[in-house]
A = this chain, B = another copy of it.
Amino acid sequence: MTAAPLRLAIAGLGTVGVGVIKMLTRNANLIERRTGRPVVISAISARSRSKDRGITLKSFDWEDDPVAMAKRDDVDVFVELMGGTDGPAKAATEAALNAGKDVVTANKAMLAVHGNELAKLAEDADKLIRFEAAVAGGIPVVKALTEGLAGNEITRVLGVMNGTCNYILTRMETAGLPYEEVFAEADALGYLEADPNLDVGGIDAGHKLALLSSIAYGTKVDFDGVVLEGIGAITIEDINAAARMGYRIKLLGVSQMTGRGLEQRMTPCLVPANSPLGQLEGGTNMVILEGEDSGTIVLRGAGAGEGPTASAVMSDILDIARGTRISTFGQPVGNLVASKPAKADTPAAFYLRFHLQDKPGALAKVAAGLGEAGVSIAQMRQVEETQGVAQVIIVTHKTSRDSLDRALDAVSGSKVLDGATVALRIEDI
């Protein structure tokens, strides 16, 4: 006797949706062996029916309206792969939950912004929202954190969660090319989102970090609490200066619960070049989970692409087929507490780059500004001098961000700078 099939409706037939259909088709036997039941597609939907997607879709029931599809009687799981914070993705997700369907989604933006209300809706309907594909592509990091480390107090979550930014930074380093040039390359290769700021501004990765924080610390999702800083100000000189000191620059997410509140940062940081994070090349993602008992667990894999992202969607679908029921953020919504964004970050050493006007006493004013704010200098180097402007690189000892900001204000007020200052955290790992 075969168990009842699990019936899917798939909304969104971009790369990931097509990948999911391919996996469901190619691995149908394997999936039935592993879950004990067939997993079938009842209906599909996308903006364009006629677009050539490289696979035949004729055998699947087509729906023009994802909201209508989400409510169909012959659907158990609504698979939301449309994307977008609001609009049809959110409307269809809500419709699915209200109609008593589980939801599997890859939509980090929707969950980062509306996750709390959607999780409540799911819980009230006794249904699931699963989102393995929303974070770090093919790496099963949501599962590792929610289930694999479930017995642990989580002490820190950190990682490189946007492959495009990591590609740009490593390509700048290996090819010695400026940011603008590599950005244009990445654009031509189709690596960038329609709004590139989602990638290079750190927003996409920040969405992912906000979701992991909620699971890690049992807090409501607080994307607004993520300190965001993109990679657009990073120069090849920064990358080279960091390398000379044994560091590499990564767009690094860090989430940490402290006595001062929840720290969530997605910012360019220096990490030791010989650490797993420092060695991460190209579009690969890495997430590091630190548990009080587990110790440091490092997960690495493709952060995007048809196969890896579809693999993550399939993981959620197969969990549901097997009967696994886990709350959206790992515990009932009523247990999730509102997080207070930390007023001050955990102290760290910082990398600073100043452009100094080439006049007597300029360097002394910088040093004085730092010293008066209590920021002490570990290394200082004048790197380059062109057209009357000197570039000075400083690495500080550990300091609070508050002190650093006071110091930078003082230096800025001393009128010896020519252009913006770069300040990058050196994360302890």
Contact = CB atoms under 8 A, between A and B. Distances in A.
A188 to B, nearest CB: 23
A57 interface: no
A151 B295 contact: no
Interface in A300-325: 300-302, 305-308, 310-312, 314-315, 317-319, 322-325
Contacts of A138: 291, 293-295, 297
Contacts of A291: 138, 311
Contacts of A139: 297
B293 A335 contact: no
Interface stretch (A78-86, A140-148, A198-206, A396-404): A140-148
A276 B294 contact: no
Given A151-B23, A152-B27, A311-B294, A330 B144 contact: no
Contacts of A152: 23, 27, 311, 314
A331 to B, nearest CB: 5
Given A143-B143, A143-B144, A295-B302, A314 B34 contact: no
Q: How large is the interface on A (under 10, 10 to 19, 20 to 34, 35 or more residues)?
A: 35 or more
A311 B293 CA distance: 6
Interface in A18-69: 19, 23, 26-27, 30-31, 33-36
Interface in A272-302: 276, 279, 291-302
A153 interface: yes
A149 interface: yes
A307 B323 contact: no
A332 interface: yes
A33 B294 contact: no
A151 B300 contact: no
A218 B31 CA distance: 11
A184 interface: no
Interface of A: 19, 23, 26-27, 30-31, 33-36, 132, 138-140, 143-144, 147-153, 218, 276, 279, 291-302, 305-308, 310-312, 314-315, 317-319, 322-326, 330-332, 335
8 nearest A-B residue pairs (beta carbon): A151-B314, A140-B148, A293-B307, A294-B311, A298-B300, A150-B318, A138-B294, A297-B301
13 contacts: A23-B152, A27-B151, A35-B150, A132-B148, A140-B147, A150-B318, A151-B311, A293-B306, A296-B301, A298-B298, A323-B323, A323-B325, A324-B326
